[in-house]
Amino acid sequence: MSENKKTGHAVQTTGHAWDGDIQEYNNPIPRWWLWSFYATVVFSIIYWVLYPAWPIGHSYTTGVLNNITYTVNGEEKTTHWNTRARLVRDMQTGEDAVKQRRHMQEVANASFSAILSDPKMIDFSSKIGKVLFTDNCAACHGMGGQGVVGLFPSLVDDDWLWGGRTENIRETIASGRIGFMPAFGKTFSDQQMDDVVEYVLSLSNQAEDQPRVQRGKQLFGGEQGGCYYCHNQEGTGIQSQGAANLTDQIWTIVDVAGQKDIEGKRALVREVVSKGVNRSMPNWKGRLSDEEIKLLTVYVYNLSGGK
Amino acid sequence: MRHENIETNVGLLVALTLVVISIGGLIEIVPLFFIDETIEQVKTTDGKDAIRPFTPLESRGRDIYIREGCYLCHSQMIRPFRDEILRYGHYSLAAESQYDHPFQWGSKRTGPDLARVGGKYSNEWHTQHMIAPRSVMPDSIMPNYPWLLENDLKYNDIAGRLKSQRIVGVPYSLTDEEYEANVERFGKEAADRLNIHAAEENLMAQAEQGNYDGDRSRLTEMDALVAYLQVLGTMVDFKQYDEGHFAEFR
């Protein structure tokens, strides 16, 4: 038997003794705890009244807190508290959403040239564009838009397969692209293939065998190869076809520039010519709004320094 | 009964604790089976159910998803908050996981939510990303899963797997009546794919047509997993509904 220090009353022990003399007091639970417990009970009763709470057959009590108001098809609707209605309200009249919509509206109304000449709009588009890019584009084109050679084109250089003007980029994002080059493996003989490959390399000043280059030029610009249909006679490519410019050092399908010796370069070009190219980029107009695509366009346009 | 009697009797304490917890659980969970609005009615424009069970191939993909523990890092539940829908798309509906046993909602997002990943990336991207995530996402911390492309998909037990799903209420059809009911409910095309008797052919046909892993000569686990990922969150056409429609169910 002992005494509670605070109250001075005698306190019972639990009746057990461990190791002969260790005993446990049987104190009542603290007052503050007990009152907190009663408070939670009161809280839950108030909660039941205000919020959706009790099931009744096929329905439930919706609570008296009819405080969520939103507009559907021009009609105002007030409903009991629930997260979905709250979301609709937040999207329509929430502070952040309204602010963002105001900016989006400005973007929607502005032309690309107007956006690109207004530092404030560039700032907005680069902030929103970065988020959109990271979530939708970076998976293939990389966080910084550097791309993956052979799989996904780089967006940071000045070389554009489908055109680098804002209207081209917008169209690419909105509708997607299908990059296709037929396989010429069966069209050319082995020797002809060597010639075409050498000519293609000569376009970017990497060829070493001049006779081959001359013969390859005939095939490239002639009817048998017909390469000029898409790459044109100068080999600079036609952007409406998505055909690559072959006269620069930028290679998007195979890493020719990364090869040290001519044999390695020839092998890679040969692979593309004989197997062809078949790759695609999905369209985003179903996922992104027109304004978002516009912002992304500005962002991508600026990635390459705006050229 | 004095409280001391419960506290000093472990067996009784355990039993009564279970009773008390069960009361809480039953009151919270059981009514949801009876409340009409728990699962939203989602119909296509021609009056069929928009949400169908997974096809045999998708279902095998889902098995692999579970086997590899994808759910440990990826949730499949977009909550109704502005920041979530801006990133992931429309919030998830209860109807969308009504045939998911067990559901894959998850609560841990080490990786992004996958509830609407279907159609977002190409098949080639998924295959490449699964073999070596960092080759397409340098910042990724996802492990490599190269064996998915090496392992042949085991599918000779697919009928059994669908049957076990049927036992817990997923409407795969075994009898003619069930098949007819599925035609009525999901349309003929979907009903054909839910027919357990044709499960193997359906699985092969979808893999052949979709060519998910880019290699037509083999049917790999990658085919199944990519098929599954590509259907996630794509069954409901949200453009069909005004923005307040699904709030009516709450």
What pLDDT is attached to residue B214?
86
What would the two tokens of residue B147 be? 């064996």
- The low-confidence residues of chain B, meaning pLDDT below 70, are 1
What pLDDT is attached to residue A80?
92
Contact call for residues B184 and B52 (beta carbons, < 8 A):
no
If pLDDT is split at 50, 70 and 90, which confidence band does A307 have? Answer: low
Cβ–Cβ gap B121/A60 under 8 Å? no
Tell me whether A97 touches chain B (CB under 8 Å). yes
CATH number of the domain that A183 lies in? 1.10.760.10
Cβ–Cβ gap A139/B85 under 8 Å? no
For residues B136 and A142, give the distance between their C-alpha atoms in angstroms, rounded to a whole number.
7
Calculate the average pLDDT of chain A: 88
Structural domain includes residue B93:
yes
Structural domain includes residue A198:
yes
Considering Cα of B163, then B167, then B173, then B175, what sign does the dihedral take? positive
The domain tally of chain B equals: 2
Question: What 3-state class would DSSP assign to B185?
Answer: helix
Residue A25 dihedral angles phi and psi, to the nearest 5°: -70, 150
Q: State which residue of chain A sits closest to B34, comparing Cα positions.
A: A58
Contact call for residues B236 and B119 (beta carbons, < 8 A):
no
Work out the average pLDDT over A233-260. Answer: 87
For residues B116 and B112, give the distance between their C-alpha atoms in angstroms, rounded to a whole number.
10
Tell me whether A77 touches chain B (CB under 8 Å). yes
Q: Which of B27, B242, B247 sits opposite A79 (nearest CB)?
A: B247
At residue A171, does pLDDT exceed 70?
Answer: yes
CATH number of the domain that B229 lies in? 1.10.760.10
Structural domain includes residue A103:
no
pTM: 0.80
From B39's Cα to the closest Cα of chain A, the distance in A is: 12
Work out the average pLDDT over A283-303. Answer: 89
What pLDDT is attached to residue A66?
86
ipTM for the complex shown = 0.86
Structural domain includes residue A12:
no
Structural domain includes residue A273:
yes
What pLDDT is attached to residue A1?
46
If pLDDT is split at 50, 70 and 90, which confidence band does A95 have? Answer: very high
From B202's Cα to the closest Cα of chain A, the distance in A is: 26
Structural domain includes residue B83:
yes
What pLDDT is attached to residue B143?
97
Print the domain residue range for B30: 3-34
Structural domain includes residue A86:
no
What pLDDT is attached to residue A2?
54
Query: How many other C-beta atoms can be found within 10 angstroms of the C-beta atom of residue A13?
Result: 13
Structural domain includes residue A65:
no
The residue written with tokens 């599925």 in the block is B182
pLDDT tens, residue by residue, A40-87: 999 999 999 999 988 888 989 999 988 899 998 888 999 999 999 999
Q: Which of B119, B122, B244 sits opposite A72 (nearest CB)?
A: B244
If pLDDT is split at 50, 70 and 90, which confidence band does A143 have? Answer: confident
The domain tally of chain A equals: 1
Print the domain residue range for A219: 128-303
For residues B156 and B201, give the distance between their C-alpha atoms in angstroms, rounded to a whole number.
11
Which residues from A are below 8 Å from B37, CB to CB?
Answer: 59
pLDDT: which is higher, B69 or A152? B69
Structural domain includes residue A13:
no
Work out the average pLDDT over A149-166. Answer: 87
Residues 146-205 of A with CB under 8 A from B: 148, 151-152
Structural domain includes residue A121:
no
What pLDDT is attached to residue A5?
61
Structural domain includes residue B48:
no
Work out the average pLDDT over A270-275. Answer: 91
